[in-house]
Amino acid sequence: MKTLILTLASALFTLGAMAQPEMKPVGGTGPMIALDKEVHDYGTIPQGANGECVFTVTNTGDQPLIISQCQGSCGCTVPQCETAPIKPGTTSKITVKYDTNRLGPINKTVTINSNATNAPTKLVTIKGNVDGPAAAPAGPVELSPMKP
């Protein structure tokens, strides 16, 4: 008898839980972040070249998006982001400067912190390779005569 009562109670509880309406956030979706790209590839660039790139941020939500911080993964990667609220449907720019005096592969990240409901912390990546300066052409070599 106890088993029958427990089974019926369990079934009623399950049916009651399934009948609940879907809960939606109060006030809409909130601020939401979208980026035009998540990776910027410089390709191969010469040493000392312009290491600047831009990521475009769009607020696809229904409340103002506030970017609280942008931080590069090292001192050679310096991001600049607007801290003014981004209204729904509008865009802002994040400019990233990489120090191209450093030779070799580029594989760095920028962390974007915001009040976005879909991704409060977002990572973007810059990659590529910095080549050294072109070698100077070798000219004729002058030999001095040997003294006895």
One digit per residue, the tens of pLDDT, for the chain of length 148 reads 455 454 544 544 444 444 444 334 445 799 999 999 999 999 999 999 999 999 999 999 999 999 999 999 999 999 999 889 999 999 999 999 999 999 999 999 999 999 999 999 999 999 999 998 755 555 555 555 666 6
The pLDDT, as a whole number, for residue 8 is: 45
CATH fold label, 33-101+115-131: Immunoglobulin-like (2.60.40)
Backbone angles phi, psi at 20, to 5 degrees: -70, 140
For the chain, the domains span 33-101+115-131
The pLDDT, as a whole number, for residue 92 is: 97
d(CA 86, CA 135) in angstroms, rounded, equals 47
Q: What is the 3-state secondary structure (H, E, C) of 41-54?
A: EEEEEECCCCCEEE
The pLDDT, as a whole number, for residue 146 is: 60
The pLDDT, as a whole number, for residue 132 is: 84
